[in-house]
Amino acid sequence: MHAIVIKNYQRIPFSAIPALPYELFVPVILEELMIDDSCHCVNYVGFPHNDKVQLICCIANDKQHTIYVTSTIVTLNATLPSLTAHKLAFHIFERELNEQFGIQYTDHPWLKPVRYSFNRSDLNKTIANYPFYSIESEELHEVGVGPIHAGIIEPGHFRFICNGEQILHLEIQLGYQHRGIESLFVEKKKILQRATLAENIAGDTVIGHASTFARVWESLCETAVSPALQLERTLALEHERIAIHTGDLSAMCTDLAYQLGSSVFGRLRTPIINYFQEWTGNRFAKGLIRPNKTNFTFTKELATRWHEVISKFEPDFIEMYDMLSDLPSALARMEKTGIVNKETAQTIGMVGMAARASGLTRDIRMSHPEGWTTISHQPVIKRHGDVFSRVQIRKEEALQSIQYIRQIIELLPDADKGITEEKDALPDSFVIGLTEGWRGEICHCAITDKTGNLQCYKIKDPSLHNWLALGLAVRNNEISDFPICNKSFDLSYCGNDL
Amino acid sequence: MFNNLKILHHQGKQFIPDVTKAEAAGIFRGRPVISKASVNTETLTELCPTSAITTNPVSIDLGRCTFCGECAIQFPEKIRFTKDYKLSSNTRNQLIIEEGIEQPITLDADKIRKEIRRLFHHSLKLRQISAGGDNSCEWELNAVGNVNFDIGRFGIEFVASPRHADGIVITGPITQSMAKPLELCYKAVPDPKIIILAGVDAISGGIFEESHALDRSFLVQYPIDLYVPGNPVHPLTFINGIIQLIGLES
Ligand code: SF4
């Protein structure tokens, strides 16, 4: 057996993961597990093992709704041939393995550090002395922005090489937001501390990350959560999608200099997040998701209030969107700008809403919905992969989420606080959990040791796959279109840097 | 044109006329009130994820509290969160709420540097620096300028360049990689200038306090003019904190 086949959020003994010699590991992944386009790597993590490191690779098969897990054990600072040379989508994982464990890949095109983590293997590589890619030419010029940007957003550095107004190349430098979250997950012992950490991985994806952590933890402890609790979480996840898509439409309009759209979508976001405050006491729903329980049960009154809020929101949202999508000056900026075609999206392993805007049918709600929801989901797909496709997706997904919440409220059994008794994580366990957050595929992996202590917690925000897409999308575009390209993806800095 | 007017009409009146007296929606967790009821203080302090609760007397440090609400849920007879969103102060001590104290949190007017009210009373331009912020505080600081909260009416505005600013607003626990850019940005702001810490992560490090990836030395070197608690800060908390600082609240 070359790989173990599991379902989303299924607990398996860690020792059940096969450990292949590296010479076999590579062909098994490329030829047996990545059989066609319906398979992609959802996580590839290094787990330190005395003086060695176990590389665990998780490949999702969207058609079979399964995840293959296999591994290999190599020495620290080993020199190895890469997977990236065959499948570019592995580039980011191998860059991280290089950064963490000093693994040298002989044929990897670009071993750039991912996040300059405090415990990286080579402390001499710093964010300040990084050699940016440059081109010697009298005709070209470089533009550097960040780490502190002009607006109120997270830090990152963008280095453009331009020919006049036209962008030839964009290099994205991240790592400024690294807070050592994965180590803190292991160091902090209380469940509430870990749930708090999960909520603060990316503050715009509170439900996405916190519910993934909660489900992974429940699987580690083998506690079954009630259907009511599961549905409430799904409801919150879809509500978060509506909130962020609306806020991002506002930000898109700001970058288009379309004042009306910016104000109206901005104000439409307010009742949505205020609804979270009515339900949970926090506009971002921090405090809502806890393993095995909830402190804020979704009641009949809350259901009625939700219908009230949405019945006012929906017509105004549609009206404003119709206006935007009819506006020639806005369309001229958005159409055919910042294109990522389907082939590129597949090659670099894009996920989430941005991948669907490029025509990839990749959505965890459809492909790996285990234990998550009883609603059968049809992803919204667009083909052009431009800024406008990503804008269209946001509108259609927000409306779709409204429909889903309507259905969930119908299905919801009577309020249920869940079980409050805490159980311990089971020893020698491995769990991988996938959730479709508003931005895309969130993946958390947990490993416990022989006594049930958490040994390793690996987090992957969808941004990790998609930052490269932004770099490619802006090529040959005018530099003045960068803000709308950037906002149409709205990738996470802190989700990437952790 | 007609469609534009229709859209405008459909928005209705959105702005909050008086941001000092608005009511926060729903079950907002603002300033806590701690009763004198006797409870098992060991369990109480133990449950807090960020060690914000201390005993003798029982108190909550709003500079460390993530407002998760867990203490009030498990000890309702002891701790209750009110909807009072005026949580900011210019002294770190004022953020510590002791049992039996029900007074609102205020600023210590004597400790506000004289030039702040003299120069920034009618116009305050701020440069925001996210130094490991998780993007929720950043979303909320953007929201203070929207049509609902409209901080612009007080002459307060976020600007793109530190050279145009009168002060900085820091969010996030300050990561190692942001320590230097933060300092450079602060130095680029012309004197006199102010520093505001927004959110639990900036004030104390929050849940990241013990992380090895932080470098908070900046905060030891420079004076802090305003602490704005929250996780994230609520726009009303932020606006009220600032207008109290510059002396606009009647
Ligand atoms: S609400 Fe604040 S004081 Fe209470 S447990 Fe949570 S973090 Fe601690």
Q: Going residue by residue through chain B, which has 250 residues, state the pLDDT in tens, using 9 for 90 and above.
A: 788 888 888 888 878 888 888 888 888 999 999 988 888 889 999 999 999 999 989 999 999 999 999 999 999 999 999 999 999 999 999 999 998 888 898 888 888 888 888 888 889 999 999 999 999 999 999 989 888 888 999 999 999 999 999 999 999 999 999 999 999 999 999 999 999 999 999 999 999 999 999 999 999 999 999 999 999 999 999 999 999 998 887 5
B169 Cα distance to chain centroid: 10
Question: Ligand 1: does its nearest atom lie under 6 Å from the Cβ of B231?
Answer: no
Q: Walk me through the domains of chain A, giving residue ranges and CATH numbers.
A: 4-105 (3.30.460.80), 181-461 (1.10.645.10)
pLDDT over 90 at A441, yes or no: yes
On average, the pLDDT of chain A sits at 91
Which atom number of ligand 1 is nearest to the Cα of residue B61?
A: 3
- Pairing type for strands A11-13 and B53-54 reads unpaired
Indicate which atom in ligand 1 lies nearest the CA of residue B72.
Answer: 4
φ, ψ of residue A213 to 5 degrees: the values are -60, -45
- Nearest residue by C-alpha to atom 8 in ligand 1: B48
Q: Is the peptide bond before B232 cis (omega within 30 degrees of 0)?
A: yes
Q: Give how far Cα A268 sits from Cα of A272, B27, B89, B157, B217, Å.
A: 7, 20, 31, 22, 40
Mutation to probe ligand 1, out of B68, B78, B82, B99 (largest number of atoms < 8 A from CB): B68
Residues B26, A360: Cα–Cα separation, whole Å:
40
Q: Does B137 touch chain A (CB under 8 A)?
A: yes
* Largest Cα–Cα separation, chain A: 70
Say how many Å lie between the CA of residue B29 and the centre of ligand 1.
Answer: 10
In this structure, the residue with its CA closest to atom 2 of ligand 1 is B65
Probe target for ligand 1 pocket from B62, B70, B79, with the most ligand atoms within 8 Å of CB: B70
User: Per the CB < 8 Å rule, is A152 touching B141?
Assistant: yes
Instruction: Determine the distance in angstroms separating the CA of B110 from the nearest CA of chain A, rounded to an integer.
Output: 31
- CA atoms A188, A193, A198, A203: torsion sign: negative
Asked if B69 is an interface residue toward chain A (Cβ–Cβ < 8 A), one would say: yes
What confidence category does residue A376 fall into, taking pLDDT thresholds of 50, 70 and 90? confident
Which chain A residues touch B139 with a CB distance below 8 Å?
A: 203-204, 247, 284
Q: Do B134 and A175 lie within an 8 Å CB cutoff?
A: no
Rounded CA-CA distance B144/B237 in Å is 10
Q: Select from A275, A307, A272 the least CA-distant residue to A406.
A: A307
ipTM of the modeled complex: 0.91
Predicted local confidence at residue B14, as pLDDT: 79
Where would I find the H helices in A188-327? 191-199, 206-221, 227-255, 259-280, 300-325
Size of interface A-B (CB pairs under 8 A): 200
The stretch A207-211 carries a mean pLDDT of 95
Assess A202–B contact: CB distance below 8 Å, yes or no.
Answer: yes
pLDDT at A472: 94
Q: Give the nearest chain B residue to A147 (CA atoms).
A: B181
Give pTM, 2 decimals. 0.92
> Which atom of ligand 1 is least distant from the CA of B67?
1
The pLDDT-based confidence of A419 (bands split at 50, 70, 90) is low
Question: Are the beta carbons of A261 and A253 closer than 8 angstroms?
Answer: yes
Looking only at the bridges linking them, the beta strands covering B32-34 and A429-436 are unpaired
Ligand 1 neighbourhood includes B97 CB (under 6 angstroms):
no
Centroid of ligand 1 to alpha carbon of B79 (angstroms): 10
Rounded to whole angstroms, how far apart are CA atoms A76 and A60?
27
Torsion over CA: A151, A154, A157, A159 (sign): negative
Tokens (6 digits) for A235: 């409801």
Tokens of B136: 């929720």
Here the tokens at position A487 are 């906002």
Residues A80 and A104 sit within 8 Å (Cβ to Cβ): yes
Give per-residue burial for B158-179: e unless 16+ CB within 10 Å, then b.
beeebeebbbbbbbbbbbbbbb
Test A287 with B214 for CB contact under 8 angstroms: no
A318 CB-near residues (< 8 Å, 6+ apart): A399
* A319 in contact with B, Cβ within 8 Å: yes
Say yes or no for a CB contact (<8 Å) between A193 and B207.
yes
* pLDDT band, very low/low/confident/very high, at A313 (cuts 50, 70, 90): very high
The one-letter amino acid at A480: S
pLDDT of residue A415: 62
A81-135 per-position pLDDT tens digit: 999 999 999 999 999 999 999 999 999 999 999 999 998 888 898 888 999 888 8
* A181: amino acid identity, one letter: I
pLDDT of residue A374: 66
For the domain covering B109-246, report its CATH number. Answer: 3.40.50.12280
Residue A386 CB contacts under 8 Å (≥ 6 apart), including other chains = A334, A335, A336, A337, A338, A339, A357
Chain B interface mutation, best of A126, A145, A152, highest count of B Cβ atoms under 10 Å: A152
Give how far A200 is from chain B: nearest CA, Å. 6
Q: How far is the CA of A291 from the centre of ligand 1 (A)?
A: 17
Q: Are B177 and A204 within 8 A, CB to CB?
A: no
Element at A493 (helix H, strand E): helix A493-497
Task: Look at residue A417 in the predicted model and tell me its pLDDT.
Answer: 60
**Distance from the alpha carbon of residue A21 to the mean position of ligand 1, in angstroms:** 48
Nearest-by-CA chain B residue for A286: B68
Summarize pLDDT for A47-65 with one digit per residue, the tens.
998 889 999 999 999 988 9
By Cβ distance, the residue of B50, B130, B231 closest to A154 is B130
The answer to whether the CB of B45 is under 6 A from ligand 1 is no
* Interface contact B135-A493, CB threshold 8 A: yes
Quick one: average pLDDT of A237-254?
94
Give me the pLDDT at residue B249, please: 75
pLDDT higher than 60, residue A420: no
Percentage of chain A beyond pLDDT 70 is 97
**Both tokens assigned to B243:** 């207008």
What distance in Å separates residue A460's CA from the closest CA in chain B? 15
Contacts of A154 in chain B (CB under 8 A): 130, 133, 135, 138
